[in-house]
Chains A and B, each alone.
Chain A
Amino acid sequence: MQLGEEIAQRLAFGQALVELGAEKPNMLVLDADVGPSTQTHLFGRAYPDRFIEIGIAEQNMVGIAAGLSTMGFIPWISTFAVFMTKRAGDQIRNSIAHPRANVKINGAYGGLPSGRGGATHSAIEDVAVMRALPNMIIMDPADPQEAMVCARLAMEIEGPVYLRTVRCSVPVIFPEQHKVEIGKAITLHEGKDVAIISSGMMTPRALKAVELLEKQGISARLLHMPTIKPIDIDAICDAAESIGAIVTVENHSVIGGLGGAVCEVAAEYAPCRIKRLGFPDIFLESGDDEVLFSRYGLDVAGIESAAKLLAEGGKKNK
């Protein structure tokens, strides 16, 4: 894939499964009737004997995967994040997280972009729910390239991983040799007036906002968090101490996700001014992804203006 190319992140994830399937004969993929949507059908086509169609029964899917994991298999379970984390929430907690089952969870259709599915299909609280579970690693990749890297990394970890992917196209910002370390932020831009901490598909647009800010003489540090749990405490503290103003940006509710995690760390170790960009405490509606994103300031202009406000305040504080 080329830098700047727009590719559906779900497609990259589906292709990553096919690649990994060739290398890992003990990898299985389970889906709950949404394979053509989550793109796990690509794996099903490539390895029909290792693809298990569960039917629309997410709770059972989790348990089947838990059982398979005791037999030396590494199962991926895949369905829409909104159903995965709540319909099967108790099963993920008690059959996967507590027993530390080596099961990989794909929360597809993370956040707003759900194919105009509206309130019932927009997973705006999946990270909050999963973040509260001990033993759970949470990945929120920025682009198609990083989604592939994260899928591979998840296979190398012994234990549960929640990998959030989005339905829509996202521009490629990382090269093929891109690497992700668990619990480590990636600094995409250095700056001193304001820090922007973003995750998932918000990172490419935060990167654009940073470039626009620079043209206006505002120097912003951009930290991308590929893993929301564990979170990079050092990077947050350093931004809080050396810059003193942070904007968090996520394709998620402002409650309990990346913004919540950053606030928890900063409040405890290095209090500073923080603005959380994300969905307010409401259910979303159906409609065009970008119209709705911009309604909540989750477009380039929204990130730019929030960062500008904080940069000015940050300078004043110094």
Chain B
Amino acid sequence: MHENDISYLESIASKLRMLVVETAHTAGAGHTGGSLSEVEILTALYFSFLNVDPSRPDWEDRDRFILSKGHASLGYYAALALKGYFPIDDLKTFDREDSTLQAHPDMHKCKGVDYSTGSLGQGLSIGAGIALGGLIKNKKFRTIVLLGDGECQEGQVWEAAMFSGSKHIPRLIAIIDYNKVQLSNKVDENLSLEPFAFKWEAFGWNVLSVNGHNITDLLSVLSRASAISAQGPVVIIANTIKGKGVSFMEGKFEWHGKAPNDNEYIAAMKELNSSK
């Protein structure tokens, strides 16, 4: 990939980060921390990797994307808007009454959402079902599921992992936004996932890991994952920082489900603007 392309993608990521903070501030609601940690992942997916067309959100052969960590909708909506699924202005309606942009993504309300999510632990099963359907129909599209790390404490994630690994479901790629912090505490202090990679391996998955904020590395790991996913499911453990980009939010569980107030908003935007 071209040097210029990376800087273009980095500028997209920077824009998404600002949209996350702006949208949360306008709504006075939203999950800011986990939306900031997924920004580069969503950038690499929607602006390079995924074979999707915003003018045909129901196109049969498109790659599918499921945001299993449905609460991180701020980042998701920002990416969909910037990609052209709906006007960026719609972000101002986030979480309001009658908005297409519900707190948690609704496939019947928001264009580009491949499946409704919100209750944690359910997205990987849905993704596995879609990938299995694609296999039966001899389709070649890929299904990507983005999970939170805290979410991997849910038993259903491991039911889905066991199923997909044991049935060697192809073209299914799980990405873990491993930001190490969940709603109430550090993941390690609540219920550790480690040895995380070994667990996925033991369930029959190919495991890759990456710095989830480095777009060059993300693109190369996605391309590798895509290639080896022909044989069976692949998980990418993306090491990230919760609240990434806003120093006073970084690594803080307090920013899991909180929106910035006016002063915090000004400070956050100042920092994001200066690091553009």
A59, A66, A67, most chain B CB atoms within 10 A: A67
A64→B119 contact, CB < 8 A: no
A67→B126 contact, CB < 8 A: yes
In the complex, chain B residues whose CB is within 8 Å of the CB of A67: 115, 125-133
B116→A99 contact, CB < 8 A: yes
Report the tally of A-B residue pairs with Cβ distances under 8 A.
97
CA distance A120 to B158 in the complex (A): 24
CA distance A55 to B108 in the complex (A): 31
CA distance A98 to B126 in the complex (A): 14
The answer to whether residues A100 and B108 also contact, given A64-B132, A67-B131 and a CB cut-off of 8 A, is yes
- Of B117, B136, B156, the contact of A59 (CB 8 Å cutoff): B156
A99→B125 contact, CB < 8 A: no
Interface string of B70-89 (1 = CB under 8 A from A): 00000000000000000000
In the complex, chain B residues whose CB is within 8 Å of the CB of A37: none
B122→A64 contact, CB < 8 A: no
A137 at the interface (CB under 8 A from B): no
A70 at the interface (CB under 8 A from B): yes
B228 at the interface (CB under 8 A from A): no
For A54, give the chain B residue with the smallest CB separation.
B163
A90→B162 contact, CB < 8 A: no
- Of B133, B155, B160, the contact of A63 (CB 8 Å cutoff): B160
In the complex, chain B residues whose CB is within 8 Å of the CB of A90: 119, 122
For B114, give the chain A residue with the smallest CB separation.
A70
CA distance A6 to B172 in the complex (A): 47
In the complex, chain A residues whose CB is within 8 Å of the CB of B136: 71, 73
Interface string of A179-218 (1 = CB under 8 A from B): 0000000000000000000000000000000000000000
- Of B115, B121, B137, the contact of A66 (CB 8 Å cutoff): B115
B232 at the interface (CB under 8 A from A): no
A94→B125 contact, CB < 8 A: no
CA distance A59 to B159 in the complex (A): 8
The answer to whether residues A64 and B108 also contact, given A90-B119, A91-B156, A94-B118 and a CB cut-off of 8 A, is no
In the assembled complex, the CB of B150 is this many whole angstroms from the nearest CB of chain A, namely 17
- Of A52, A57, A73, A94, the contact of B159 (CB 8 Å cutoff): A57
In the complex, chain A residues whose CB is within 8 Å of the CB of B119: 90-91, 93-95
B106, B108, B115, B131, most chain A CB atoms within 10 A: B115
B114→A63 contact, CB < 8 A: no
- Of A65, A71, A94, the contact of B137 (CB 8 Å cutoff): A71
Interface string of A33-60 (1 = CB under 8 A from B): 0000000000000000000101101011
B134 at the interface (CB under 8 A from A): yes
- Of B118, B124, B130, B163, the contact of A68 (CB 8 Å cutoff): B130
In the complex, chain A residues whose CB is within 8 Å of the CB of B202: none
For B137, give the chain A residue with the smallest CB separation.
A71
In the complex, chain B residues whose CB is within 8 Å of the CB of A59: 121-122, 125, 155-156, 159
CA distance A93 to B122 in the complex (A): 11
B122→A63 contact, CB < 8 A: yes
In the assembled complex, the CB of B227 is this many whole angstroms from the nearest CB of chain A, namely 23
B132→A68 contact, CB < 8 A: yes
B266 at the interface (CB under 8 A from A): no
21 A-B pairs with C-beta separation under 8 A: A52-B132, A59-B121, A59-B125, A60-B163, A63-B125, A63-B129, A63-B160, A64-B160, A67-B125, A67-B130, A70-B130, A71-B129, A73-B133, A73-B136, A90-B122, A91-B156, A94-B117, A95-B116, A95-B126, A99-B106, A99-B108
Which of B's residues lie within 8 Å of A, judged by CB? Answer: 106-108, 114-119, 121-134, 136-137, 155-156, 159-160, 162-163
Among all A-B residue pairs, the 8 with the closest Cβ atoms? A67-B129, A63-B125, A71-B133, A60-B159, A64-B129, A57-B159, A67-B130, A94-B119
Given contacts A95-B126, A98-B116, A99-B107, 11 further A-B contacts (CB under 8 A): A57-B163, A59-B121, A60-B159, A63-B128, A64-B129, A64-B132, A64-B163, A67-B132, A67-B133, A71-B130, A95-B116
Which of A's residues lie within 8 Å of B, judged by CB? Answer: 52, 54-55, 57, 59-60, 62-73, 90-91, 93-95, 98-100
